[in-house]
Structure 1
Amino acid sequence: MAHGAIKKVVLAYSGGLDTSVILKWLQIEYGCEVVTFTADIGQGEELEPARTKAQAAGVQEIYIDDLREEFVSDFVFPMFRANTLYEGEYLLGTSIARPLIAKRLIEIAAETGADAIAHGATGKGNDQVRFELTAYALNPEIKIIAPWREWDLLSREKLMAYAEQHGIAVEMKRDGTKSPYSMDANLLHISYEGYDLEDPWVEPGSDMWRWSVAPEQAPDQATTIEIGFEQGDPVAINGQRFSPAALLAELNRIGGANGIGRADLVENRYVGMKSRGCYETPGGTILLKAHRAMESLTLDREAAHLKDELMPRYASLVYNGYWFTPERNMLQVAIDETQKVVNGEVRLRLYKGNVMVVGRKSASNSLFDAAIATFEEDAGAYNQADATGFIRLNALRLRVAGRQRG
């Protein structure tokens, strides 16, 4: 890419070391105007310092956008309608945030007349794929700058030296220390990678976790909550309605206090390597359990089973960055059609890291018929003699094969 061809670039900017260096590097190497974009997706950090640092770097157009409600309502909740888990464990907290951030980058590029976007994802990870697939899907002609694939600043020491050389302020945490882990947080989760986690045999230290108490330190009394669903989405906790973002934040608070949502796993990255990460997803862990319980009462058997068959493909699409694709849209339409009947309440008991379903009801869509399911007299609601023919027909091929072996 000819550097001189880039006049203005929109940078996904956090104000941390990496993106602060990238901001200066773009100004020097590309000689272009830089627009910064900082997304509030519930990471729980003060974002105004990013504005101050961008202003100090000479940035004229600074975007700091509150995307929390859009993140949960348009990305997290649709994903949870599918009961999505990647490789059976990962609730996709980082993956689902990337298409939203990239979408807003493209929108800002159009608003400001920029001809390129830039991000701080490394050439080893999944995020570069997620950002760029989204960008190209929404603007096929956009130019993308990925500094980690161009420069030689491939270590923290080199980044720190560059920052010192160019007078870039690098702030530490308030207590003078910085977490040794690479961390990513939003309303759905917080992740930890790197440092001693690069040895999959090493147990994470108890001081690493930020959102949840250790299960053994959780209260000795269980917490019981009820979650209300409308068309597959949670809308209320204990009868109180919340906005999507506020509801997930409240579930995070309740779940974290009960030691819920910690995960330690080795996953297969899209670029080909295995990676070890630790995650805290308290609200998402509760929500997945509750949603499946609500579906168990209201979804037809075959629709539910087909959803479960489709889910791993859906999860891979999200993980690999294919949110804005025909195939994900197609799956979403099918999934959303099933959710029209997923209405009602689920009662859960939270205790020392465990989420237990202890009740579910649906006034309008329950498929549970006590008159049929009862172990007592059913007054003719179900003719048990019908099972004889049902079993013999289903056994026909087995009997034929058995005679052949005979």
Structure 2
Amino acid sequence: MDVKKIVLAYSGGLDTSVILTWLTEQYDCPVVAYSANIGQEEDWDAVEKKGMATGAEKVIISDLKKEFVEEYIFPAFRANAIYEGSYLLGTSLARPLIAKEQVRIAAEEGADAVSHGATGKGNDQVRFELGYIGLDPKLKIIAPWRTWDLTSRTKLVEYAQKHNIPVPVTKEKPYSCDENLLHVSYEGGILENPWNEPDASMFKMTVSPEMAPDTPTYIEIEFKNGDPVAIDGVVMEPLALFTKLNKVAGANGIGRLDLVENRFVGMKSRGVYETPGGTLLRESHRALESITLDREVMKIRDSLIPRYAELIYNGFWFSPERELLQATMDAAQKTVNGTVRMKLYKGNCITVGRKSDNSLYQESFATFEEDMVYDQGDATGFIRLNGLRLRIQALQNK
């Protein structure tokens, strides 16, 4: 493959540090190391210095936190996106954003190729590369893990030592970790055995429910068109608001998940996740929808959630079908305005109040007390007509 310049999605860890040097050797061309700041804890000065020392022509660090919340997290949560009933798509939502910025940098830097450090077994290779293809199909894609002979950590370390690439002397973590504003995911290592309970010390965003406060925390979240806009009456920008949700939910032990999921490539994988703010956001959003969405609209929208979430999980964020579904999801959110009161207690996220000027809940109709708006006798014909086919079937069976 004839390549003039490469932009590498670079984290500064062992894998991408080796890849950075390997790319310069294999393709004999400049490599731009690009890192995306999407809310993970990182020493960015150290990342930049290591990238330059490892052979990068330039190191670019892009702060994408605001865009991540506004253009990826919030749209997905307007749709109540959830994969296989549990996973809130923390990694899946971040990858298309990282790919989009990588493509932008490639154009800016005059690069004709992009590269990533995802392995040939996982979902991320698909997410990155479908993003590249969907945004700029002319770019050449280099996936070292699918082509090189450095097939073990031992070989990576040997290569790093041979090329004077710093190798961390700290004890290797018994699992791999991916972190961003929405979640932290843990997989591999000791977690590959689905019988092993996660080590309590590994969690970053949440306290254990057992160690959470003995007194419940109450929080009121206000929504406009399906997006959160204020907490406890204080209007906030999306990034600050979501950061606050993470903090208060994490302090109450909310958002831990232990899941065996079905990867797009065909295998099952065990992952452990922390999604504190996302869990609180989804629960409160659903609670507000319960009084503001028409029953039949909700049925249709809910029927589309599995397909929408699957598209994101499988890497099709930039597909026309995801955009079509997003428009449908957003159209349903025009009446999702109001406030939800949540009670947070030792890992539990409980709705205790909801109100809206768009509420379809009318106490005068729902009351068990005497009312002047509902004729209970109307139910007789309603039941008879709905039971007609059952009656005919029963008569036929006899």
Q: Please say whether Structure 1 and Structure 2 have the same fold, judged by a TM-score greater than 0.5.
A: yes
Normalising by structure 2, report the TM-score: 0.98
Displacement after TM superposition at 1:57 (Å): 2.8
Amino acid at match of 2:167: V
Displacement after TM superposition at 1:170 (Å): 2.5
Name the CA distance, whole Å, in 2 between partners of 1:216 and 1:62.
43
Q: Is residue 360 from structure 1 mapped to residue 357 from structure 2 by the alignment?
A: no
Extract unaligned runs of 5+ from structure 1: none
Name the CA distance, whole Å, in 1 between partners of 2:301 and 2:210.
35
Contact 1:345 1:361 in 2 (8 A): yes
State the secondary structure of the residue aligned to 2:332: helix
Runs of 4+ aligned structure 1 residues displaced above 2 Å come to 57-62, 176-180
Name the CA distance, whole Å, in 1 between partners of 2:265 and 2:154.
25
Contact 2:20 2:56 in 1 (8 A): no
| Aligned match of 1:384 | 376
Deviation string, structure 1 residues 359-405 (Cα, Å, up to 9, x no partner): 0011x211111111111111x21111111111111111111111111
Q: Is residue 248 from structure 1 mapped to residue 245 from structure 2 by the alignment?
A: no
Q: Is residue 131 from structure 1 mapped to residue 125 from structure 2 by the alignment?
A: no
Name the CA distance, whole Å, in 2 between partners of 1:190 and 1:300.
35
Moved more, 38-47 or 18-27: 38-47
| Aligned match of 1:73 | 70
Name the CA distance, whole Å, in 2 between partners of 1:320 and 1:390.
44
State the secondary structure of the residue aligned to 1:358: strand
Q: Is residue 218 from structure 1 mapped to residue 215 from structure 2 by the alignment?
A: no
Deviation string, structure 1 residues 62-107 (Cα, Å, up to 9, x no partner): 2111100100110011001111110111111000100000111111
Name the CA distance, whole Å, in 1 between partners of 2:397 and 2:32.
74
Name the CA distance, whole Å, in 1 between partners of 2:258 and 2:359.
36
Q: Is residue 158 from structure 1 mapped to residue 152 from structure 2 by the alignment?
A: no
Deviation string, structure 1 residues 151-210 (Cα, Å, up to 9, x no partner): 1112111111111100011235xxx44432110000000000111101001111111212
| Aligned match of 2:196 | 202
Matches within 5 A, 1:183-202: 183-202=177-196
Q: Is residue 328 from structure 1 mapped to residue 325 from structure 2 by the alignment?
A: no
Name the CA distance, whole Å, in 2 between partners of 1:161 and 1:245.
42
Name the CA distance, whole Å, in 2 between partners of 1:128 and 1:324.
15
Contact 1:187 1:245 in 2 (8 A): no
Name the CA distance, whole Å, in 2 between partners of 1:171 and 1:64.
21
Name the CA distance, whole Å, in 2 between partners of 1:27 and 1:57.
10
Moved more, 120-129 or 302-311: 302-311
Name the CA distance, whole Å, in 2 between partners of 1:67 and 1:7.
27
Amino acid at match of 1:388: T
Q: Is residue 11 from structure 1 mapped to residue 4 from structure 2 by the alignment?
A: no
Name the CA distance, whole Å, in 1 between partners of 2:52 and 2:115.
18
Normalising by structure 1, report the TM-score: 0.96
| Aligned match of 1:291 | 285
Matches within 5 A, 1:2-401: 2=1, 5-171=2-168, 176-362=170-356, 364-378=357-371, 380-401=372-393
Contact 2:18 2:165 in 1 (8 A): yes
Name the CA distance, whole Å, in 2 between partners of 1:19 and 1:341.
46
Contact 1:69 1:243 in 2 (8 A): no
State the secondary structure of the residue aligned to 1:259: coil
State the secondary structure of the residue aligned to 1:211: coil
Name the CA distance, whole Å, in 1 between partners of 2:129 and 2:330.
27
Moved more, 10-19 or 44-53: 44-53
**RMSD value, Cα:** 1.0
Contact 2:287 2:351 in 1 (8 A): yes
Amino acid at match of 1:121: A
Extract unaligned runs of 5+ from structure 2: none
Name the CA distance, whole Å, in 2 between partners of 1:53 and 1:324.
32
Contact 2:24 2:55 in 1 (8 A): no
